[in-house]
Amino acid sequence: ERNKVAVISEQNVEMPSQKVLSTKDGAVYTTSTGAPVAQPYAAQRVGLVGPLLLQDFHHIDVIAHFDRERIPERVVHAKGAGAHGYFEVTHDITDLTCASLFKKVGNKVRATVRFSTVGGEAGSADTARDPRGFAIKLRTDEGNLDWVFNNTPIFFIRDPTKFPHFIHTQKRDPQTHLKDADMFWDYFSLNPECIHQVMILFSDRGTPDGYHNMHGYSGHTYKLVNASGKFVYVQIHLKKVGGAKTLTDAQATKLAGENPEYGIQSLFEDIEKGNFPAWDAYIQTMTTEQAEQFRYNILDLTKVWPHAQFPLRPIGRLVLNENPENYFNEIEQAAFSPSHSVPGLEPSADPVLQSRLFSYPDTHRHRLGTNYNQLPVNAPIVPVANFQRAGPMSFVSQGGRPNYQSSLVPLTYKEKSYEHVQHETWLGAAVTDLSEINELDFEQPRALWQKVFSDVDRAHFVGNVAGHLGNVKSAEVKARQLSVFAAVDQSLSDRIAVAIGAPKVQPLKAKPASEAIRFKAFA
């Protein structure tokens, strides 16, 4: 009984929070300690022309706080826009997951979403050619569930060690501090497993019309686990209601000059007008048996699961209907991570996903501090009870409850949501070159080029690539990238060669499909 009281009462302690009064409600100017100040623009000095006084707390308060206004911007995805809303469960998937969010059709949880470009700095243009981040925080009664997605169903790499190398080539040259077309295409041409993502990036999907007219994809394979511990592999898709909308390269470039905040502005204004953006959420699922039979490795982030073989099953709807009141507090300080999850949704062994599980909380501790999960936008709606204490800026330090597992006032533990039936077994080589190229790597990009793109899409794609690849100085880099395009489709490569005035080239030689790493759940 004592334990119960301790846990509940301490979690419900109301912390004094600063009241924010608007000018209309009679806000009166004060220092940060609440003392009224009569002359906000005046620094105290000795006489009329003398030096300033150290006793002037108000002046130091103003300047010192200003000096510290910036926190590090995100190392990637620095430019973005966000809003709040809700996620509603529309279809029953209790056969697949025991997550309490999905216990009942009609369940609704508060969501915060942040969209972003990837490579540019916090002040860069919203319409840059780039993938877009689509990060979602769902506040459930089992804690926060973050879906840290992109607007592309696949990614550039399948070995996470490449991520910093890859990102460096998309950012600035260390000497010139300029973006560099040679560096950009040097990386792509040397690491052809990225070709599928390059195909999407240089289609018009690489320049979405604002942040909220695009789809979202988990990209990675995750696992849904039901109450008996059985699991299926899953890919999650968010389809924009009304369809994805894109800009042409010319429109995107013009907007980058005329209104670099086009994406932030259109999201904000649409929500203000009541045009609430919405997405239907779907899943694709696979059993282990299907995964072992599947042509592609389900842990390879450069591959999709074809819809015809793995149909989309509806699960819910995401709606954004509320703009943030304070952008910094509610969006800039938001910390999303694929490792912020709940029972019933688990990561797969996809190595890129596994690496991300570490990377995000690691960068949050650097960007926002150890106690980033105490910030109001990140705090779960359920009480947190554990043995973490103190640290910088801790304002929810869990009261007087013991800071170890005490026999006198023990914390209670919830029963496991499920007993795992055997999931997978991992055997074999510990170090593998995941990036080795084989013929399978070109099949899906080829399907995109030959079957999905319209003639207009193909023409735009060639123009978009030519406009960028044409800036490369190195003939070797250009030829190598053309050989990657030729492995997708010879006519595609030849059209780009003509457009940039380069010689036509033969396809790059890849290993046979039979040498691709096959997925095996059970050794």
Annotated active-site residue in 59, 84, 144, 150? 150
Residues of this chain, 197-216, that bind ligand NDP according to CB under 6 A? 200, 203, 205
- If you compute the radius of gyration of the chain from its CA atoms, what whole number of angstroms results? 26
Residue closer to ligand NDP by CB (options 205, 317) is: 205
Residue closer to ligand NDP by CB (options 379, 447) is: 447
Q: Which of 308, 429, 430, 523 binds ligand NDP (CB under 6 A)?
A: 308
Residues of this chain, 378-417, that bind ligand HEM according to CB under 6 A? none
Residue closer to ligand NDP by CB (options 105, 244) is: 244
Distances (CA, A) of 335 to 13, 50, 357, 438: 24, 47, 13, 37
Residue 36 pairs with which residues in a beta bridge? Answer: 30
Distances (CA, A) of 178 to 76, 171, 221: 17, 8, 36
Query: Coil, helix or strand for 141?
Result: strand
Of these partners, ligand NDP, ligand HEM, none, which one is at the site of residue 260 (CB under 5 to 8 Å by kind)?
A: none
End-to-end CA distance of the chain: 49
Annotated active-site residue in 58, 77, 220, 340? 77
State the number of binding residues for ligand HEM (CB under 6 A): 28
Asked if 219 is part of the footprint of ligand HEM (rule: CB under 6 A), the reply reads yes
Distances (CA, A) of 434 to 297, 350, 369, 521: 11, 11, 34, 17
Asked if 199 is part of the footprint of ligand HEM (rule: CB under 6 A), the reply reads no
Which one of 298-306, 397-405, 408-416, 475-483 is the stretch in contact with ligand NDP (CB under 6 A)? 298-306
Determine the Cα–Cα distance for residues 474 and 494; give it in Å rounded to an integer. Answer: 18
Two tokens, residue 223: 């696992």
Determine the Cα–Cα distance for residues 479 and 486; give it in Å rounded to an integer. Answer: 10
Which one of 143-151, 193-201, 397-405, 505-513 is the stretch in contact with ligand HEM (CB under 6 A)? 143-151
Q: Name the residue among 189, 89, 181 with its Cα closest to residue 140.
A: 89
212 is catalytic: no
Residue closer to ligand NDP by CB (options 153, 192) is: 153
Q: How many CB atoms are closer than 10 A to CB 210?
A: 23
Residues of this chain, 429-448, that bind ligand NDP according to CB under 6 A? 444, 447-448
Which residues have CB under 8 Å from 173's CB, separation 6+? 179, 180, 183
Two tokens, residue 239: 């389809």
275 is catalytic: no
Of these partners, ligand HEM, ligand NDP, none, which one is at the site of residue 74 (CB under 5 to 8 Å by kind)?
A: ligand HEM
In eight-state DSSP terms, residue 452 is I
Asked if 77 is part of the footprint of ligand HEM (rule: CB under 6 A), the reply reads yes
Residues in the chain: 523
Residues of this chain, 449-478, that bind ligand NDP according to CB under 6 A? 452, 457
Positions touching ligand NDP (CB under 6 A) are 153, 200, 203, 205, 243-244, 304-308, 444, 447-448, 452, 457
Positions touching ligand HEM (CB under 6 A) are 74-77, 80, 114, 116, 133-135, 148-150, 155, 160, 163, 219, 334-336, 352, 355-356, 359-360, 363-364, 367
